[in-house]
C-alpha cells in the first residue's frame, strides 16, 4: 500500500510532520487530509501546551515516527545510565539523559520468539497458542501493531531478527509479522513517501552469544573493574566472559549512535520517538530462559525531547507487551480489545518521575518451551509475579530439568555446547566441587513447585523462602494475585482448555540431535551426538 502524499498545513511555514509537495495533481480540487493526520491523545497534549503558552496559531502535529533500537539478550543493569561503571555506552546514556528511563521494565517471556510475539500483539504469551514457544510459529489471525500501523498509512519495516526465530509461514503469514525486511535504515527510509510516518525496528544481534573472542580485551576492559553477580563464580574465566559481553553491548551502543545520526541526517529527529530496549536478559546461568530478574528485567529508554518531558526516571512496572497499545495510541488508532497490555502514553506525557501510575505495581512473566532441550521436546512451564518486594514463581512440572536435560543443559547458552560459553563450562566442570557446587545447583538443578524471594534482603533471588513460615502470608497473597491475573487473561494452565504450544513443531531440526563442540566433548567427556527425539 502506498498512501497519498501530504501537504504543508501552512503554505508560509510548514509545521513539523507536514511537507509541501508542490502543485496539486491535475484534477485535484484542493488539499487532501492524509490518513495519518488524526490528532491522538499523545499529540493533543502538545497542542494543549502550546495553547496554554498563549500561542495564537493552531499547531497540528502529525503522529510521530517510531524507531525501535533493540539489543538481544541484554540485562537491564548493564548500561552506564543504569549504574554500570564499567561498560561503555555513551550514546545510550545520552538518550537516557534526554528521555525517560524505566527502572522496572520486563520482557513477557525470557525467550526471544514469545517475547517478540507478545510485543507485536500486545498479548500475554499464553494467549498466542504456538506463539508461546521459541523456534515455533504464530497464527496469522493474531493482529500485530505493524499491520495496523501500515493500514493507517505508516511505512513499516524491520532489520535483523524481528519476530523469531521461527517459521512465520507455518502460521499463515506471507512475511515476518514485524513487517517487510530491510538491509539497513537507509534502504528503508529511501522507500518513504515525503511526510509519511514510519515505524522501523532495528534488531541488533548484540550481545547475543557467541561473543567475539577476546572482544573484551580488544575493547580495553580491565577484568578487575568488572562486577560479578553472586549467583556466578567470581573467577577470571567468568570476568573475561562478562568483558566479552560488555564489548558486544559497546558495539550495540555504536549502532544506536549510527541510527541517531541518520535521524539527524534525514531531518526527522523532532518527529521520531526513539525506543531503546532489549528482548531478554543475558545468556548466563539463571539468565535467559529463567523467570528471575536476570532473565526478564530489561533496559527501556524512550525519548522524543520536543514532545515527551525528558530527564526522568520512572519506576512503574512495564513490559515489552505494552509497546503495541502504546504505538497505536501514539498513531491515534483504536487499541484492540484483546490486547492485555496497556498504553504507556499517559506515563510518557507526564512530567513526573518515580511512580507515575500506582496501578502498575506488578508484572507477570511466563515461560514455556525455550530450546528443544528435554527428551521428547517438552518445555518448562512456569509463571511469575514480580512486585517491588517479592518475586513469586510457580513451576508447573517440577520433575523436569529447568535448564534442560543433563549433561548438555540446553536451556542455558551455549545451549547445546556447540560454541564457547566460558561461564557455563566453568560450572559444568565443577559440579561436584564444594566451592562452586551451590552455584551449579542454582543454575542447573531441579526446582520446587513454588519459589519466593524477598527482594529487600535477597535482590539476586538466590534464597527460596517459599516454605519459610515467616513468609506464608506473603506466599499465599502472591499466589492468589497470580491466580487472579492468569484466570482473567485466560491462561489454559489455570482455566483449562487446549495448550496448543505443548506439541507444536520446533523449526530448528539441528537442535533435536545436538552435536557439542569438540572442545566440550573433550573437556566434559561427552558423546559426539545426542538425540531428544529417539
Structural domains of the chain ordered from first start: 65-352 (3.40.720.10), 366-524 (3.30.1120.10)
Give yes or no for a contact between 88 and 219, defined as CB atoms under 8 angstroms apart.
yes
CB burial of residue 133 (10 Å; 0-12, 13-18, 19+): buried
For the chain, give the percent of residues with pLDDT over 70.
89
In this structure, what are the phi and psi dihedrals at residue 363, rounded to the nearest 5 degrees?
-145, 145
Output Rg (C-alpha) for the chain, integer angstroms.
24
Give yes or no for a contact between 369 and 378, defined as CB atoms under 8 angstroms apart.
yes
Q: How far apart are CA 489 and CA 341, in angstroms?
A: 10
Give yes or no for a contact between 168 and 177, defined as CB atoms under 8 angstroms apart.
yes
CA 47 to chain centre: 32
- At 276, list the grid cell: 531503546
> Residue 12: which pLDDT band, with cuts at 50, 70 and 90?
very low
Which helix H or strand E contains 236, and what residues bound it?
helix 236-266
Each residue's pLDDT tens digit, 113-147: 999 999 999 999 999 999 999 999 999 999 999 99
What helix, strand, coil percent values describe the chain, rounded to 5?
30, 15, 55
Cis omega (within 30 of 0) on the bond before 210? Answer: yes
Nearest CA to 107 among 144, 72, 145? 72
Mean pLDDT of 220-243: 97
25 versus 73: the higher-pLDDT residue is 73
Each residue's pLDDT tens digit, 402-417: 999 999 999 999 889 9
Give yes or no for a contact between 273 and 65, defined as CB atoms under 8 angstroms apart.
yes
Q: How far apart are CA 150 and CA 293, in angstroms?
A: 34
Each residue's pLDDT tens digit, 182-226: 999 999 999 999 999 999 999 999 999 999 989 999 999 999 999
Q: How far apart are CA 199 and CA 227, in angstroms?
A: 37
Give yes or no for a contact between 175 and 168, defined as CB atoms under 8 angstroms apart.
yes
Give yes or no for a contact between 281 and 287, defined as CB atoms under 8 angstroms apart.
yes
Q: How far apart are CA 98 and CA 113, in angstroms?
A: 31
> Residue 101: which pLDDT band, with cuts at 50, 70 and 90?
very high
- At 78, list the grid cell: 548493564
> Residue 534: which pLDDT band, with cuts at 50, 70 and 90?
confident
Q: Is residue 324 scored above 70 in pLDDT?
A: yes
User: What distance, in Å, lies between the first and last C-alpha atoms of the chain?
Assistant: 48
- Using DSSP, state whether 408 is helix, strand or coil: coil
Give yes or no for a contact between 228 and 423, defined as CB atoms under 8 angstroms apart.
no
Nearest CA to 303 among 295, 293, 292, 314? 314
Mean pLDDT of the chain: 90
DSSP annotation string for 516-527? --HHHHHHHT--
Sign of the Cα torsion 304, 305, 306, 309 reads: positive
Each residue's pLDDT tens digit, 423-462: 999 999 999 999 999 999 999 999 999 999 999 999 999 9
Each residue's pLDDT tens digit, 349-401: 999 999 999 999 999 999 999 999 999 999 999 999 999 999 999 999 999 99
Q: Is residue 76 scored above 70 in pLDDT?
A: yes
CA dihedral 69, 71, 113, 242 (to 10 degrees): -170
Q: How far apart are CA 41 and CA 332, in angstroms?
A: 7
Q: How far apart are CA 413 and CA 280, in angstroms?
A: 13
Amino acid at each position: 500500500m502506498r498512501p497519498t502524499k501530504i501537504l504543508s498545513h501552512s503554505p508560509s511555514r510548514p509545521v513539523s510532520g507536514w511537507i509541501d509537495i508542490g502543485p496539486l495533481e491535475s484534477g485535484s480540487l484542493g488539499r487532501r487530509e492524509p490518513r495519518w493526520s488524526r490528532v491522538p491523545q499523545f499529540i493533543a497534549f502538545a497542542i494543549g501546551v502550546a495553547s496554554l503558552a498563549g500561542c495564537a496559531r493552531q499547531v497540528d502535529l502529525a503522529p510521530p515516527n517510531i524507531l525501535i533500537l533493540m539489543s538481544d539478550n541484554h540485562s537491564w543493569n548493564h548500561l552506564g545510565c543504569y549504574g554500570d561503571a564499567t561498560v561503555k555506552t555513551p550514546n545510550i546514556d545520552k538518550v537516557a539523559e534526554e528521555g525517560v528511563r524505566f527502572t522496572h521494565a520486563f520482557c513477557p517471556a525470557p525467550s526471544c520468539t514469545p517475547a517478540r510475539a507478545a510485543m507485536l500483539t500486545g498479548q500475554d504469551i499464553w494467549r498466542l497458542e504456538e506463539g508461546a514457544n521459541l523456534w515455533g510459529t504464530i497464527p496469522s489471525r493474531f493482529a500485530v501493531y505493524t499491520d495496523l500501523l501500515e493500514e493507517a498509512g505508516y511505512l513499516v519495516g524491520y532489520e535483523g531478527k524481528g519476530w523469531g526465530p521461527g517459521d512465520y509461514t507455518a502460521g499463515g503469514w506471507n512475511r515476518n509479522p514485524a513487517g517487510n525486511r530491510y538491509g539497513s535504515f537507509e534502504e528503508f527510509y529511501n522507500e518513504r513517501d515525503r511526510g509519511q510516518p514510519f515505524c522501523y525496528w532495528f534488531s541488533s544481534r548484540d550481545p547475543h552469544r557467541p561473543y567475539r573472542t577476546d572482544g573484551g580485551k580488544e575493547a580495553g576492559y580491565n577484568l578487575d573493574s568488572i562486577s560479578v553477580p553472586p549467583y556466578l563464580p567470581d573467577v577470571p574465566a567468568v570476568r573475561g566472559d562478562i568483558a566479552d559481553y560488555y564489548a558486544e553491548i559497546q558495539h550495540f551502543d555504536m549502532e544506536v549512535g549510527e541510527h541517531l545520526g541518520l535521524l539527524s541526517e534525514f531531518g526527522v529527529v523532532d518527529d521520531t520517538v526513539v525506543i531503546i530496549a532489549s528482548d531478554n536478559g543475558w545468556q548466563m546461568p539463571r539468565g535467559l530462559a529463567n523467570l528471575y530478574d536476570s532473565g526478564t528485567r530489561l533496559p527501556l529508554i524512550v525519548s522524543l525531547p520536543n514532545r515527551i518531558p525528558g530527564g526522568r526516571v520512572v519506576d512503574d512496572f512495564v513490559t515489552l507487551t505494552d509497546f503495541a497499545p502504546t504505538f497505536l495510541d501514539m498513531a491515534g488508532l483504536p487499541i484492540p480489545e484483546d490486547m492485555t497490555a496497556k498504553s504507556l502514553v499517559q506515563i510518557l506525557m507526564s512530567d513526573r518521575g518515580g511512580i507515575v501510575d500506582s496501578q502498575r505495581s506488578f508484572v507477570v512473566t511466563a515461560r514455556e518451551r525455550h530450546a528443544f532441550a528435554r527428551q521428547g521436546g517438552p518445555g518448562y512451564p512456569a509463571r511469575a509475579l514480580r512486585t517491588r518486594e517479592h518475586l513469586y514463581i510457580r513451576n508447573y512440572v517440577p520433575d523436569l530439568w529447568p535448564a534442560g536435560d543433563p549433561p548438555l543443559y540446553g536451556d542455558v547458552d551455549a545451549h547445546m555446547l556447540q560454541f564457547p560459553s566460558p561461564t557455563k563450562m566453568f560450572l559444568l566442570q565443577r559440579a561436584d566441587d564444594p566451592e562452586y557446587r551451590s552455584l551449579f545447583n542454582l543454575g542447573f538443578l531441579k526446582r520446587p513447585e513454588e519459589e519466593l524471594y524477598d527482594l529487600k534482603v535477597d535482590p539476586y533471588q538466590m534464597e527460596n523462602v517459599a516454605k519459610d513460615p515467616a513468609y506464608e502470608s506473603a506466599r499465599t497473597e502472591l499466589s492468589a494475585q497470580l491466580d487472579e491475573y492468569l484466570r482473567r487473561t485466560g491462561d489454559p494452565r489455570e482455566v483449562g482448555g487446549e495448550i496448543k504450544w505443548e506439541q507444536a513443531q520446533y523449526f530448528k531440526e539441528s537442535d533435536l540431535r545436538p552435536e557439542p563442540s569438540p572442545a566440550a566433548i573433550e573437556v566434559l567427556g561427552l558423546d559426539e551426538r545426542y538425540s531428544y527425539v529417539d
